[in-house]
Chain A
Amino acid sequence: MTATTSIVDRLRARIGQDGPATEAMVEAGHLKRFVEAIGDPNPRWAEEAPPTFLVALAPASVHLAEAEEYGKGWLNGGNRFEYLEPVKVGDRIKATGRVADVYEKTGSSGSLLFIIFETDYVNQEGRLVARLRGTAIRR
């Protein structure tokens, strides 16, 4: 068994386990800094979260120290958001992330490790407001 195989196996053992939940309040000042950083002046975002804001509210991935033994850097492969209800200033959002899948691909430029993360966002009334699926790549 090679070193990278054992990292993949160790990570695969985490599939399906929830990471620690985090809770955060949607604050007007944070929203303002977020949309200013994007350069989106839409006044609607004074009250409501723009499409990608949830990633600023809670980590969009579970911290996996062992993944950093693979390759030398991270790349973001993609993100998929599903919206069930608007997220507004004053909402208290609980985010729970998990590892949904881990796999390795070998191509012409070497091996890549893919980690698929899923995060569920639930509001203060216990309703699921959004889901996020992200692909993190170690190269």
Chain B
Amino acid sequence: MSLKVGDEIPELVKHPTTRQLVQYAGAQGDFYEIHYDQAYAQSVGLPGVILHGLLKAGFLGQLVTDWLGDRGTLKTFEVSYRGIDQPARPYTCRGRVTKVDGDQVELEVWGEDSTGNRTTVGTATLDMKG
């Protein structure tokens, strides 16, 4: 295997729905109303219900593990939420290799809203020894 800096990870496009937010709220146990109650979300100054940051992290985790397969192990995974995302809009996960040092590999990952804005940015470090 020969990973090199700049290699791109195949993109993953998600189509989140309000139903999915409810499903995720139940699965994680995060029942904060901004993720499913439109009136509540607006009452705290949001344009409407928004995706859980950790759901977006889950999407980015899938991006990385789909690409990595059994070639290596995820050591750290870090995400920062820079902007909000609303359901019924596509959410595109992308990434690329930023560092290769023997078996130690670093990735930059991010999630884009439908206008190409990076609303979530992150890094993953991998041990390619498996």
- How far apart sit A74 and B23, CA to CA, in the bound complex (Å)? 20
Instruction: Check if B66 sits within 8 Å of A42, measured CB to CB.
Output: yes
Residues on B with C-beta less than 8 A from A40 are 58, 61-62, 65
* B65:A42 contact, CB within 8 angstroms: yes
- Give A72's nearest chain B residue, CB to CB: B44
**Per-residue CB proximity of A19-43 to B under 8 Å, as 1/0?**
0000000000010011011111010
A81 in contact with B65 (CB, 8 Å): no
Closest beta carbon of chain B to A26's beta carbon, Å:
13
B79-106 contacts to A (CB < 8 Å): 79-81
Q: A51-B74, A82-B75, A83-B76 in contact; A75/B81 too (CB < 8 A)?
A: yes
Closest chain B CB from A18 CB (angstroms): 21
Q: Is the interface of A mostly helix, strand, loop or mixed?
A: mixed
Please determine whether B76 and A82 come into contact, CB atoms closer than 8 angstroms. yes
Q: How many residues of A contact B (CB 8 A)?
A: 29
> Please, how many angstroms separate the alpha-carbon atoms of A11 and B71 in the complex?
44
A38 and B76 contacting across the interface, CB-CB below 8 Å: no
Q: Which of A67-96 contact B (CB under 8 A)?
A: 72-83
Closest to B50 in A: A75
Decide if B23 touches A52 in the complex (CB within 8 Å): no
Whether a CB of chain A sits under 8 angstroms from the CB of B49 is no
Chain B: CB-nearest residue to A135? B80
Q: Which of B23, B55, B61 contacts A51 (CB 8 A)?
A: B61
CB nearest neighbor in A for B52: A76
C-alpha gap A40/B14 in the complex (Å):
10
Complex interface: chain A residues within 8 A of B59 (CB)? 38-39
Residues of A bordering B, CB below 8 Å: 30, 33-34, 36-40, 42, 44, 50-52, 55-56, 59-60, 72-83
A-B contact pairs, 5 of them (CB 8 A): A37-B28, A50-B58, A51-B65, A80-B76, A82-B75
